DNA sequence: CGCGCTCGTTGACATTTGTCATCGCGCCGC
DNA sequence: GCGGCGCGATGACAAATGTCAACGAGCGCG
């Protein structure tokens, strides 16, 4: 099931051409790694994976269409033999949690070096897991989301600054109910108001 | 004043090791480009520029310490012979405007290819300017900030969801005054309230 | 100079938002 | 079955926020 003579077959997905191309060139220097496909969006990454059946998929977290975690989840069911890794610029604790739940085997920030990335690709391909220590520490200290499903949902609707009446309309709820949930969410997050709460929740990756 | 035998001397500043390293490797393949220094933060970029006096400085917009535009401004006065370029993941219209005001000669998103980047480096080094067409269109359609200095200042203080009283204290103003500015800013931006206004202003790069 | 203009500032008033006490519902253990 | 418990929902009340009209300071212009 592993790569052919060329070594480990890698899929690279990142919407930033500059980075993707540069990365491809750099990984190509490693004898045992072969970049067999590149993609600039979530759907494209999926299509490429179906067509080229890579051993390892290196996915950016933020891509147009579908984020890295969604792609990883889809790959897990469609191509069980393909190991997935997430690479991200700014890692939010919640993302890491969701990524691991989606079967991702590696999670690291873009601050690592290319050589380190190559090592990690080999490592996860060999069956190990790798999570960036700092991101792991953040995730642990941030802990689980204390929000109920309803609270998270309403907080997300409130995140763009919409007034309560609009949120109530969109959620088909009474305005008072909405206020109550948001108030509760803000209290749990230690925020002064729902807007600050939304910021915190987003920062932690909880919405 | 131009580069020595090695060609155009380039400084690369980006906090993402992965990208910076990969980019350096890729640019090194071009005969007429030499990466003489790399930096992972704003201050480091400045120090490196002072030490190595590059012909062209390629700066990421978002870096720890000081953003690319600040670095460009500092370089403009300290090393007039050094041409500056900004490379960014998500370009906001206001950033482009500020960058041009800071004397930046090139502004492009990370979605361009490495080869294109090399061409643009040569072009700006030759005295031309380059602005990504799409970013330019965004900037033009977004237009100038309609906010007065005070409005922008207070909107920025309001951006993290702080209550009005706290903003008033930080700005040494009466709460009513703060409300009035924020209200005015929200009206100009077509927002329902100050939080939505802050989002819009940030998106447009006006704060 | 005196005029009109804009910006910064303020307090009074209406509206929105946050807090609280309360109620109904479904679920689990006993 | 039934009492306790947590979640979802609601309205009354208090506090924060947004809206409005107004005033003074600075500035360009006839």
Mean pLDDT on B49-73: 92
Beta bridge partners of residue A37, listed in sequence order: A11
Per-residue pLDDT, B45? 94
CB A45 within 8 A of CB A85: no
A19 and chain B in contact, CB less than 8 A: yes
* Nucleotide nearest the Cα atom of B197 (by C1'): D18
Q: Which residues lie near nucleic chain C, judged by CB under 7 A?
A: A 163-165, 175-176, 179-180, 182-183, 186-187, 193-195; B 148-151, 173-174, 176-177, 179-181, 193
Nearest to B25 among A18, A22, A117 (CB): A22
Compute the distance between CA of residue B174 and CA of residue B64 in angstroms, rounded to an integer: 34
On the question of pLDDT at B1 being above 60, the answer is no
Angle at A200 between CA A101 and CA A88, to 5 degrees: 45
Compute the distance between CA of residue A160 and CA of residue A142 in angstroms, rounded to an integer: 23
Compute the distance between CA of residue B119 and CA of residue B56 in angstroms, rounded to an integer: 13
Per-residue pLDDT of chain A (207 residues; tens, 9 = 90+): 444 456 899 999 998 888 888 888 888 889 999 999 999 999 999 999 999 999 999 999 989 887 888 999 999 999 999 999 999 887 777 788 888 888 999 999 988 888 899 999 999 999 999 999 988 888 877 677 788 888 888 998 899 889 988 888 888 888 888 999 999 999 888 888 899 999 988 888 888
Residue in chain B lying closest to A160 (CA): B196
Q: How confident is residue B65, by pLDDT bands cut at 50, 70 and 90?
A: confident
In the block, residue with structure tokens 């919409």 = A162
In tens, the pLDDT along B91-145 reads 777 788 888 888 999 999 988 888 899 999 999 999 999 999 988 888 887 777 7
What is the number of other CB atoms lying within 10 angstroms of the CB of residue A12?
A: 25
Q: Which residues lie near nucleic chain D, judged by CB under 7 A?
A: A 148-151, 173-174, 176-177, 179-181, 193; B 163-165, 175-176, 179-180, 182-183, 186-187, 193-195
In tens, the pLDDT along A67-100 reads 888 999 999 999 999 999 999 887 777 788 888 8
Nearest to A110 among B18, B166, B192 (CB): B18
Compute the distance between CA of residue B169 and CA of residue B178 in angstroms, rounded to an integer: 10
Compute the distance between CA of residue A188 and CA of residue A120 in angstroms, rounded to an integer: 37
Compute the distance between CA of residue A166 and CA of residue A169 in angstroms, rounded to an integer: 5
Among A193, A203, A195, A199, smallest CA distance to A161 is for A195
- Strand, coil or helix: what is A46? helix
Residues in chain A: 207
Angle at A156 between CA A153 and CA A162, to 5 degrees: 120
- Strand, coil or helix: what is A78? helix
Q: How many CB pairs under 8 A join A and B?
A: 104
CB A205 within 8 A of CB A92: yes
Beginning with the edge strand found earlier in the chain, give each strand of the sheet holding B33-39 in spatial order.
B33-39, B8-13, B56-60, B83-88, B106-109, B130-131
Q: DSSP string covering A134-178, please?
A: HHHHHHHHH-S----HHHHHHHHHHTT---HHHHHHHHT--HHHH
Any residues with CB less than 8 A from the CB of B3 and at least 6 apart, and which? B9, B34, B55
Residue in chain A lying closest to B200 (CA): A160
Among B91, B36, B96, smallest CA distance to B72 is for B96
**DSSP H helical segments within B29-163, as ranges?**
42-52, 68-78, 93-101, 114-125, 133-142, 149-158
Compute the distance between CA of residue B198 and CA of residue B182 in angstroms, rounded to an integer: 9
Angle at B69 between CA B67 and CA B72, to 5 degrees: 115
Per-residue pLDDT, A22? 84
Q: What is the DSSP letter of A111?
A: T
CB B82 within 8 A of CB B41: no
CB A170 within 8 A of CB A157: yes
Token couple for A89: 């610029």
Among A87, A84, A128, smallest CA distance to A109 is for A87
Which residues in chain A have their CB less than 8 angstroms from residue B160's CB? 196, 199
In tens, the pLDDT along B143-172 reads 777 888 888 989 989 998 888 888 998 888
Beginning with the edge strand found earlier in the chain, give each strand of the sheet holding A83-88 in spatial order.
A33-39, A8-13, A56-60, A83-88, A106-109, A130-131
Nearest to A22 among B19, B109, B166 (CB): B19
């Amino acid at each position: 099931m592993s790569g052919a003579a060329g070594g480990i077959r890698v899929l690279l997905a990142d919407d930033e051409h500059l980075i993707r191309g540069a990365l491809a060139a750099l990984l190509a220097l490693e004898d045992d790694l072969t970049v067999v496909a590149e993609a600039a969006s979530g759907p494209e990454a999926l299509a490429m994976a179906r067509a080229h059946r890579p051993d390892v998929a290196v996915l950016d977290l933020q891509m147009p269409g579908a984020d890295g975690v969604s792609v990883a989840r889809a790959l897990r069911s469609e191509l069980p033999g393909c190991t997935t890794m997430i690479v991200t610029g700014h890692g939010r604790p919640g993302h890491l949690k969701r990524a691991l739940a989606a079967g991702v085997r590696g999670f690291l920030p873009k601050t690592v070096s290319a050589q380190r990335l190559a090592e990690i690709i080999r490592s996860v391909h060999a069956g190990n897991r790798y999570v960036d220590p700092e991101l792991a520490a953040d995730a642990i200290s941030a802990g689980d989301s204390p929000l109920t499903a309803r609270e998270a949902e309403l907080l997300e609707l409130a995140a763009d600054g919409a007034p309560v009446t609009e949120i109530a309309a969109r959620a088909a709820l009474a305005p008072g109910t909405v206020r109550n949930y948001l108030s509760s969410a803000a209290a749990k997050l230690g925020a002064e108001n729902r807007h600050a709460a939304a910021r915190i929740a987003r920062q932690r990756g909880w919405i």
